Amino acid sequence: MIRFENVRKRYPAGREALSGVTFRLEKGEMAFLTGPSGAGKSTLLKLVALIERPTRGTVLVSNQNTARIPRRRIPLFRRRIGIVFQDHKLLHDRTVFDNVALPLMISSLRRRELSGRVRAALDQVGLLRYENQFPLSLSSGEQQRVGIARAVASRPELVIADEPTGNLDPLLSLEIMRLFGRFNDVGATVLIATHDLELISGMSYRRLYLEAGRLASPDAGPSEEPA
């Protein structure tokens, strides 16, 4: 689903965020991307979502070389990925329902089908009763779950999350991680960046350990050569 080949990313300011990262994430797999702050976790996810482009190397997402996707095709590309952010990135002047419906409205889904999918997504995160509320009236954990519902409402094959539990207490964090696990169970490929090693210590998912822009994990992916 995701394949990085010797990927380097240097920001215009000169800082090198990733230096020579190679790994694969198979379809239907779920993995944690860990490492200290500033290790390049966010940068890696940005390369997957085409928010940034690599300086060197190749990034493939569902067998598509992202370097070959022109600017104007990026929106279509992103519609196939669900993205969850640490700061939720919800629209505060729209209801919970409208926030979750946003990606579906963008894909101009029919109204009836749209309502069904939004309610299903809200039901999965346990927030169906809040559909007419505004995000600011919800707790931080609830807002994050709205963000997750939005990410999965369009049933993407890939879900990426950048520190989704960054502001939450351990219990809520565990709940959020289990939620991702459930999406993985039904077939979504999931990649979650988190620095909270304690939180994921009890989970059996694969881990990618980033440090100073390099992958230091022994299980950095199947060692087969790229075709």
Residue range at the interface with another protein (CB under 8 A); choices 56-64, 106-114, 177-185, 191-199: 106-114
Q: Does 51 bind another protein (CB under 8 A)?
A: yes
Query: Which residue, 82 or 221, is less far from another protein as judged by CB?
Result: 82
Q: Does 68 bind another protein (CB under 8 A)?
A: no
Q: Does 128 bind another protein (CB under 8 A)?
A: no
Q: How far is CA 196 from CA 96, 141, 170, in A?
A: 28, 16, 10
Which of the residues 107 through 126 are near another protein (CB under 8 A)? 107-108, 110
- In angstroms, give the least distance from the CB of 195 to another protein: 20
Q: Does 186 bind another protein (CB under 8 A)?
A: no
Structure tokens at 40: 């390049």
Q: Does 83 bind another protein (CB under 8 A)?
A: yes
Q: Cβ neighbours of residue 13 under 8 Å, at least 6 residues apart?
A: none
Cβ burial of 154 (10 Å; 0-12, 13-18, 19+) is buried
- In angstroms, give the least distance from the CB of 110 to another protein: 7
Q: Cβ neighbours of residue 102 under 8 Å, at least 6 residues apart?
A: 91, 94, 150
Structure tokens at 159: 């879900």
Q: Does 53 bind another protein (CB under 8 A)?
A: no
Q: Cβ neighbours of residue 182 under 8 Å, at least 6 residues apart?
A: 124
Structure tokens at 14: 């000169």
Q: Which residues bind another protein (CB under 8 A)?
A: 46, 49, 51-52, 72, 75-79, 83, 85, 89-91, 102-103, 106-108, 110, 150
